Structure 1
């Protein structure tokens, strides 16, 4: 393995152009960039991707989300709604291995940038298309956000307390799932192209990415007549596996539903008789008496401080984890030892912490090299070095507002 490949990542040499905005498509490109692909993000001049403005907290008026989702990417500005901008985009696509786009289906075709049009000049091109409902079917032209995909893919209905309307997970999970499957599709398509020389379309629909996560939900109804309902913090009949309170107002997740593990938990609680109690002695019995068992464990756990409870569980080899927020993550020794959080220099914020690359490759690991770029930071570099425009042509495009 060459030292260059080791340092640059497994996708070094793959050039990606990203069209689109917000999260699902850009998250796909983030994953590819994490592992060494050269990702060129194409943004509208002057306004850029709305993600530059998104996020709950905005110190200095700047998004804290943008530096993460645009990390390792280059930014250029091109107005794709103009003929000159479309011409620039076609020339750029001709020099790329992968296009990632998340416009509503049909938009790229209207701009002369669809797969049939661009692959005629670049037969090895892979076009990754991320959308709410996919490129085909009666709903394909509908706008589709991640929240809609989570609802129709089945996730929203099963999340939350059974006594309340469906909840949402506190992150944009549908978008991220669609982006993850899109990145997987891109890598598989690159593998095929290595053998055949031909590219193809990768069609990642948000609702289908969510649906793929829904375990046995469909046959449970089709074959068993059962509709999964919201169950709050538990999975029915999987006990004990819940969040339990501690004396110092902590929350600790204990998962001891396997028979051997439950015996260790009972010993740690100094209640060994629980493991032979007919109500709790088997997996099925614990499932039938889940509420009662959780009440027993909660009354016991709230007599102990969090640190002591964690130590007790670890000593008895019981799976346990404190319910973490950002402060706990930033000071955890395991996070630090594995460098799960990486810190980079940011021009406005200084040291900027963010999640590191996942998964870990032993020989060709990914790397976060820089935070999300300034709008159009790499326009001149890309248009001259990759597209092949003369400096005078770039100046003319800028003067006309195309870039």
Structure 2
């Protein structure tokens, strides 16, 4: 069985604010040296998918620079490989993607020309670790037309921000409520679809030309009684960074604080692959004090770092204090500066003696800011 992977990575999230002014949400750095898209892309590669299309749109430069030729994911190959699918001006006036279904429809050539039988569609801004093989077997055992990945969300999630799914005893979806005020179920849709490639093409041809552009709301849900749409429950750790700055902050802090989450994400079901960079090992001077933190390669730490994530090439001078914060690549924290409950983007400078302390939400510094 051959499966084509498609990753929806062109979204813009207003809720992420300054963090996505100059990058797509799928390119947001995670846990010291990874990007959000690394997780879904690695899941596909670890599941035996050797042909992956990444549909980009909003601020794609950083994401494309990260993906390159796909070498780090073993996708720089003659057959299959990595395909970057961007919007373009065509003879029929096609241009900006109007929705998820429209994005796939404008790139339907990748479906037509491939010899894959099935398509797995995922999102580039979800952080989780999964081998999709059990999803495949579930799909076939139910003789399903479409299988959606779902999860019972606990109280740490705001269920109103997710699509709520109701299933029968056989796990067939009978109702779907998209981001309603009082969801009838805590089983949420996780943005992953699995279906036959030819069925997907038929659905797109019958829907998108009629100006219906959303894969879930316009293509699948209106046919939920006609098609056999099933839910496959995922039991592991899963977060969606598009839900906002607090969610992005929470993901990184949970990775720092929870050993089980770290083991699940980085040691089970294959590796998480990412772009390699030529940095030396982290350096800790005699004045440094490190506690429960992720310190990436290339960092030079002379100050205090507690419960934080330092990305590659961060410099923390003597007397500086960083607590419960995320400091991205290339940032300089000078002597005596204090940073607590903050997200500091790439290449920022926090001057000597400055104080940045977040309250109900983390303080966010935009890329290359000097304070």
Q: Could you tell me the TM-score, scaled by structure 1's length?
A: 0.25
Task: Pick the structure with more strand per residue.
Answer: 2
Structure of greater relative contact order (alpha carbons < 8 Å, 6+ residues apart): 1
